Amino acid sequence: MSLLAVSDLCLGYEGKAVVRDISFTVNEGDYLCIIGENGSGKTTLIKGLLGLMSKYSGEILFSDDLEQSHIGYLSQHFKHKKDFPASVREVVMSGFLSRRRFGFGYSKAQYVEAHSVMEQVGIIELEKKIFSDLSGGQQQRVLLARALCATRRLILLDEPTSALDPIVTADFYSLLRKLSQDGVGVVMVSHDINSALRHATHILCLDDNSSFFGTTHEFVHSDQGRKFILSDCPCDDCTIIHNRGGIENA
C-alpha cells in the first residue's frame, strides 16, 4: 500500500529552487535512503514532506489514513539542556502529543503502546533513566521510539547517525531495517552511502542534473550510482549479494 507519493515536486527558498522535479513513492515496508552531495536539497525535501515549507509546484500525497501531522520524525540533532530532567518513558510518551485532539494526559492504551515500542527498539530497561544521562546511541533509540509513538506507519529521519560511532551506527541501521520488515515505511537522509546500500530497499539520489529513484539494485547499476560507488559491482562476482531489493556485503 502506498503511504506517500511525490510527483514533480519543486521546493526552495526566496524564489530559488533547491529541489527540482522530484518524483518517488514510499509503500508499507519500504526503506528509502535519500542521498546526494552537500547542498543537493536532502534536508529541504524532508522539510517539505513535513509541511514545514511550501512547495513551488508538484504534489505530495499521503494515504487516506495517514495525516501529515502524524508522521514520525527524527532530526539530526535533538536540542536539550544537559540537566534535561525527563525520563526515557516521558520522552517516548511525548510522541503521542501530535496525535492528541482533545483532553489531557495519556490513555491506558498509549502506555501499553509505548511499552511495546520501547521493547521493539530495545530500550525497555532504560525507561526510568534520565534521558540526558544516556549515551548518544541510546538517545537516538529513545527518539526513534518517540517517533514511532507519533505513528507506526511512516517515519522520516534526517541523518540520525551523524554523531554516532561506526558500531552504534551499524546497529541503528539494522534496527531501522527490522522496522521496515515489520511494515513501517522508513525515509532517511544519509551521508553514509555504504550503509544506505547495505540496508535500504530503495534509493533517492538528488543531483543537480538529474535525480534517481528506484530499488537499490537499480541504483547500483545506474549512471548515478557509478558516480557514488568507487568500485564496480557486477552481480556475479560474489562481492555483493542481493537481498530483498537491497544489497549486502558478502
Q: What is the pLDDT of residues 98-152, one digit of tens each?
A: 766 555 678 899 999 999 999 999 999 999 999 989 988 899 899 999 999 988 7
Q: How far apart are CA 204 and CA 35, in angstroms?
A: 6
- pLDDT score recorded for residue 17: 86
- pLDDT score recorded for residue 219: 93
β-sheet bridge partners, residue 202: 32, 215
Q: pLDDT-based confidence at 81, cuts 50/70/90?
A: low
Q: What is the pLDDT of residues 31-75, one digit of tens each?
A: 999 998 888 899 999 999 998 888 899 999 998 888 776 788 988
Beta-strand (E) ranges in the chain? 2-13, 16-27, 31-36, 57-62, 72-74, 154-158, 185-189, 202-206, 212-215, 240-243, 246-249
- pLDDT score recorded for residue 208: 72
Please, what is the average pLDDT of the chain? 83
pLDDT at 232 over 90: no
User: What separation in angstroms does the CA of 100 have from each of 69, 72, 95?
Assistant: 11, 14, 10
Q: How far apart are CA 142 and CA 160, in angstroms?
A: 12
- pLDDT score recorded for residue 146: 92
pTM metric for this prediction: 0.83
Question: What sign results for the dihedral spanned by CA atoms 69, 72, 76, 78?
Answer: positive
- pLDDT score recorded for residue 227: 78
| pLDDT average, residue stretch 199-207 | 92
- Best CA proximity match to 19, nearest among 2, 4, 49: 49
Q: How far apart are CA 97 and CA 109, in angstroms?
A: 14
pLDDT at 247 over 50: no
What's the grid cell of residue 56? Answer: 513551488
Q: What is the pLDDT of residues 191-202, one digit of tens each?
A: 888 888 888 999
- pLDDT score recorded for residue 33: 95
**Length of the chain in terms of residues written:** 250
- pLDDT score recorded for residue 115: 95
- pLDDT score recorded for residue 77: 62
